[in-house]
Structures are given as C-alpha cells and as structure tokens.
Amino acid sequence: MNYVTQRLITFPLILLGVSVLVFVAIRLVPGDAITAMLGTEAGLLTPQQRLSLASYFGIDQPWPIQYWHWLTGLFRGDLGISVTYGKPVLDIILERFPLTLELAILSMIIALLVGIPAGIYAATHSEKPSDLIVRIVAMLGQSTPNFVVGLLIIYFLSVGFGVLPTLGSAASLWQDPLANLSQLIFPAITLGFAFAASVTRISRSAMLDVLRDDYVRTARAKGVPTRRTIWRHAFPNALIPVVTLCGVEFGYLLGGAVIVEQIFALPGLGRMVLDAISQRDYALVQGSVLFVALNFLIVNLLVDLAYVAIDPRIRLGGQ
Amino acid sequence: MEMLKAIARHPSGRIGGAIILIYIVIALCAAFGLTPYDPLKQFRIDRLMPPNGSYWMGTDLFGRDMTSRLMAGIGQSFVVAFVSVAFASVAGTVIGLLSAWLGRGWDATLMRLMDVLLAFPAILLALLIIAIAGPGTWTSIVAIAIVYTPIFARVVRGPALSIKSREYVDAARTFGSSQFYILTRHMLLNLVAPLTVQVTLALAWALLTEAALSFLGLGTQPPTPSLGLMLSDARNLMETAPWLLVFPAVTLMIGILGFNLFGDALRDILDPKTRRARA
C-alpha cells in the first residue's frame, strides 16, 4: 500500500478515535451540566423539570446512544446546543474561530518574517560571532514560555509607554482592519516568539546542510554571485523542513492560543474552551475540542501530502 | 565516561549541564529546608519589599520571601517534570517496543491509538485531562505524561523496527534467547541514545507546561510555591512590584534553557547525521 492511500484511509479512523476520546473524556468530568448551568438554583428544580431539561440537552440517555446521536449529528453539522450560551455549538465556534485563526496566521507570518532571514544570515555567517548571537537568541526564545513573553510585553508597554494593549472585545478585521491589527499585534508577537526561534534554528541548519551540497559548490565554482547562489540555488531546498515545521506548529499555535487569549483577554476559541471546561458545558467542549483536533489533523495531512509531492522517496516508502 | 567527556567538550553541553546541576542543587536545598526563610511564612510588616539585604529578591503581597519561594518553586517544577517524564518515557518505550516487536495488528492498533493522542494540540489534551481529574499537582503530572507518551512511543518504534531485522537479533532468536532478554538486552540497550535525547527535550517541555498549567490555575495549587503561580500572581502587581515578575520569569527561562542546551548537545554527540552537519 502506498503512503498516500495509507494516510487517507487512517485519517477518518483517527478522527473517529478522537471523537470517542473527547466524548468519553467529557463524561468522566465530575458534576453534572444542569447544576453547573443553573448554580444554586438547580436545587429548586423539581425532578420533572430536571428530567425535561436533561432530555432537552440530550443528556438523559445512556452513553452509547448519546454518542451515536452526537456522531450522526456531526454529519449534519449539528454539534448540539451549548448549555451556557443556549445557542448551537457550531454557531459559537464559528463566531470565535476567526479571531483565533487570525491570531495563529499573524503569529506564523511574524515567525517566518523574523525566523527565515535570521536563520539564513546565521547559516551564511557560520561560526562567526554574529552566528553565535543569533543562535543564543534563538535558544533563549525557544526556552521562554509564551505567557512569560506576554507578561513582559504588557509590563514594558504599561511601564515604558504608559499604554495598555486594548483588551476585551475585538474589532472586526473587515470593518476596522487597523483597530483589529493594533489589537492583535502584541498577542501575535507573544504567540509567534518561540515559533520564530524554532524557525530560525530549523532554517539555519537546513541552509547549512544545503550549502554543503555539491550543486551549491558547482554554482559557486562556475562563478554565480554569492547572493544568487544563496537565494536562487540553496534557499528553495532549505525551505522544505521549514514548511514541515509550519504545518506541525500550526496546530500548536491554535492550542497555544488558549494561554495568550487568556492573558490578553481576547474572545477567541482557546479562551472559550477554557471557560467551557470550567463550566462543564459538555456539548461546547466536545464540539470545540473536536473542531481544533480536526483542523490539526487536516493541516498535518496537507503537510504530509505536500511533502510527498516534493520528495518522491517518501511516496513508496510506507514506513 | 566517554559520554561525559564529550558533553564537557561541547559548549552548550557544558553550559546546559551546569545549569541543570545548579538547579538540582537548589531544588535539593529547598527539599531539605535549606532556604533563607520558610517559603510559606508571611512577614506581614515586610509586604511587597523590593530586593534588599535581608530579602535578596524582595517579598510578595503576603510578605513571603521570594528567594525561598523561588527555590521551593524550582523544586516543585522539577518534581512534576521528572516524575511525568519518567512515566511518559517508560510507558512510551514499552508501547513502542511492543508495537515494533509484535508487529501487524498490534503495531497498527497501538500506533493508531498514539495517533489519536497526537491529534490534539498538547495544551488542549492536558486541559481535557485536568477537566476530568480536577486541578492539582498529580493531575498535571498525569496530564503531561499522557501528552508525551505517544511521542516516546514513536521515537522508540522507528529504530526498534530496524534493530529487529538485524542479524544479531535473528541470531539471538535461533539460539533460544527469551523474548524478554532480546527486548531488553538487544533492543532497549540500542535505543538508549535516541531515548536520552528525547528525555532531555521532554524535560524542557514538561517544565514549560507545568508552569503554563499552574499559571492558568490548573496545576500546582496555592499556597505551594510554583513558578507558574508566582507569575500569575505577579500579573496585577507588576507595575508596583516588578521583581515579582522578573525573578520567576528569569528562573523559569534559564531552567528550560538548561535542558534545551543539554538536549541539543546530546543530539549533536549521539546523532551521526548532525555530527556531519557540525563538522
């Protein structure tokens, strides 16, 4: 069986496994959703009211049946109804997701804009002091948790400039792009900081590998100018591992947004998941975690397929 | 012995190793109560003191000595990181080895299960586990261990598959070595190199995640000192008491840096491919 078919066959299987895991995990959470929703008022409910509420949210049936309803609902785009918001889960996710996606994309752009030039600079100045400095900074960047970066940014903004990044409700990218960007730029730097460091390290080592290859030596020997050798001959090949890294990291950016959204009080998907977990909103946690995992899986699948397109050796390998 | 010399020759191995050693000594001091003050004791008159002669790193909102709290916090972070990585590496190694050794259906099933776990962004999976078990030190240990197990399983399975088909394993089978002997003696010993690298990098990641979970209020619970919690407490006070932010932040960064540097050095030394790249 070749690699691509194998990947395509296992994809729905893994997704099914993810859905089972999420479903079971949520039901293992202690406490019930109705008490979580109504708080102390839940004590005032008559048993009948409690039952009818439970059947309204579909949590009165045995697990396998609940799972089956949920799974068949997924195919119709019905992820259930959120207990806390009283709205369909999919609507809430789609409301929150654009912000998180934008944050992830913005931080990826920042990481690439900083990381690739820094990595290439370090590789072409290998073992010189400037290379060492880039490497040290990248190593430090990789060792800094994103919430530390976020806190330090807020600290320097408030103490150094007396301004606070605008927190809370976000301006729409389409209606007010400037306000939106000024609001997201610092969270994006926070989220992209460690990522920029890993891009730097990967592109440096990839570039070093490529620069040692025979065709680069040939290009140099026949008198191609250095700048052209680097950008035209070496760079495209050094880019392959960077592309892979981006695919893998993108999922982590979506996940990492939990903390950054929390620090900057942004109403994104990550913060919503955090709130939904503490409020025991089964349907919402279930739906949103599955949603993030699905995105993660799709991105990884696309990266794998892109990799096959680039490198024919993998196509036949299987392992 | 030769390994130690190689690490000592490698610049980042030297620095990383030194940082880890110092941190372990600090953690041990804290464990045996060798801190300047009791990390939980509140000196109410000396609240929010900036760093000075008697409190080297100042005091927090409750008048607790920051130096002592940082030392205890390092200890707490290290316990969580080491225990969780120990669990993850053992579980992952067993799964990876069995998967490679048993092959076929077992391999497919175990690896697909690992793929399911890998389909979640790490922090999200950790949050899900904490939602089930409730916040706390042990929960974060379990959460970090579960998140990292599939990574170990993958790291082990690949090389294990290639070792399994070597002649010396065939030879051992023909003259009747037990499966357990082959698995531990021939396979596991040859996996020590990739495992060591992975363990060091996992420790860096575990330190970071422990801090992040505590920061979100889901890991270590107060009043136990924890670097993540201290940073979270510093949020509202950082304009008036920046030392509450700076010291835990720097302590955390340097600790993670130590493991990252050490892991990098190990990878350089043990991996022939990167050795070529450095030469």
pLDDT at A319: 40
CB contact under 8 A, A277 and B131: yes
CB contact under 8 A, A205 and B277: yes
CB contacts < 8 A, A to B, total 132
Amino acid at B179: Q
pLDDT at A58: 67
B141 Cα to chain A: minimum distance (Å): 17
B63 Cα to chain A: minimum distance (Å): 22
Q: Answer yes or no: is pLDDT of B22 > 50.
A: yes
CB contact under 8 A, A159 and B242: yes
CB contact under 8 A, B253 and A144: yes
Is the separation of the CB atoms in B157 and B99 below 8 Å? yes
Distance, CA of B237 to CA of A319 (rounded, Å): 53
Amino acid at A218: T
Q: Which helix or strand (DSSP H or E) is residue B134 part of? A: none
What part of A 173-192 touches B (C-beta under 8 Å)?
Answer: none
Closest C-alpha among A67, A293, A207, A245 to residue B277: A207
pLDDT at B61: 79
pLDDT in tens, A73-128: 888 878 878 878 888 888 998 888 888 888 999 999 999 999 999 998 998 888 88
Which of A30, A142, A252 is facing B121, going by the closest CB pair? A252
Distance, CA of B126 to CA of B83 (rounded, Å): 16
Distances in whole angstroms, Cα of residue B108 to Cα of each of A13, A64, B4, B88, B94: 12, 25, 38, 20, 15
pLDDT at B25: 94
Which residues of chain A are within 8 Å of residue B256 when distances are taken between CB atoms?
Answer: 143-145
pLDDT at A257: 81
Where is mean pLDDT largest: A48-57, B115-124, B246-255? Answer: B246-255
Neighbouring residues of A179: CB distance < 8 A, sequence distance ≥ 6: A166, A171
Closest C-alpha among A240, A255, A139 to residue B128: A255
Which residues of chain B are within 8 Å of residue A145 when distances are taken between CB atoms?
Answer: 208, 211-212, 215, 252-253, 256
Rounded to the nearest 5 degrees, what angle is found at the Cα of B204, between the Cα atoms of A115 and B96?
A: 105
The better pLDDT of the pair B96, A53 is held by B96
Annotate chain A with DSSP letters as a single string: --HHHHHHHHHHHHHHHHHHHHHHHHHHSSS-HHHHHHGGGGGG--HHHHHHHHHHTT-SS-HHHHHHHHHHHHHTT---B-TTT-SBHHHHHHHHHHHHHHHHHHHHHHHHHHHHHHHHHHHHTTTSHHHHHHHHHHHHHHTS-HHHHHHHHHHHHHHHSS-----SSPPPTTT-HHHHHHHHHHHHHHHHHHHHHHHHHHHHHHHHHHHTSHHHHHHHHTT--HHHIIIIIIHHHHHHHHHHHHHHHHHHHHHHHHHHHHHTT--SHHHHHHHHHHTT-HHHHHHHHHHHHHHHHHHHHHHHHHHHHH-HHHHHH--
In chain B, count of helices (H) and strands (E)? 13, 0
Average pLDDT, chain A: 81
Q: What are phi and psi of A172, to 5 degrees?
A: -75, 145
Which residues of chain B are within 8 Å of residue A211 when distances are taken between CB atoms?
Answer: none
Which tokens hold the place of B219?
A: 């890991």
Which residues of chain B are within 8 Å of residue A143 when distances are taken between CB atoms?
Answer: 204, 253-254, 256-257, 260
pLDDT in tens, B126-157: 888 887 888 888 999 999 999 999 999 988 98
Cis amide bond preceding B223, omega within 30? yes
Which residues of chain B are within 8 Å of residue A13 when distances are taken between CB atoms?
Answer: 112
Q: What are phi and psi of A204, to 5 degrees?
A: -65, -50
A11: contact with B, CB 8 A cutoff: no
B241 Cα to chain A: minimum distance (Å): 11
CB contact under 8 A, B121 and A256: yes
CB contact under 8 A, B131 and A296: no
pLDDT at A318: 43
Is the separation of the CB atoms in B165 and B186 below 8 Å? no
Looking at chain A, how many residues does it have?
Answer: 319
Which of A13, A142, A259 is facing B216, going by the closest CB pair? A259
Pick from A19, A22, A147 the residue to mutate for testing the B interface (most B CBs within 10 Å): A147
Closest C-alpha among B196, B199, B192, B201 to residue B163: B192
pLDDT in tens, A207-253: 888 888 888 888 888 888 888 888 877 887 788 788 878 877 887 78
Distance, CA of B193 to CA of B208 (rounded, Å): 24
0.90 exceeded by pTM? no
Residue B37: DSSP 8-state: S
Which of A10, A151, A292 is facing B112, going by the closest CB pair? A10
A134 CB-side CA count, 13 A: 27
CB contact under 8 A, A145 and B131: no
CB contact under 8 A, A14 and B121: no
CB contact under 8 A, A151 and B231: yes
How many other C-beta atoms lie within 10 A of the C-beta of residue A273? 30
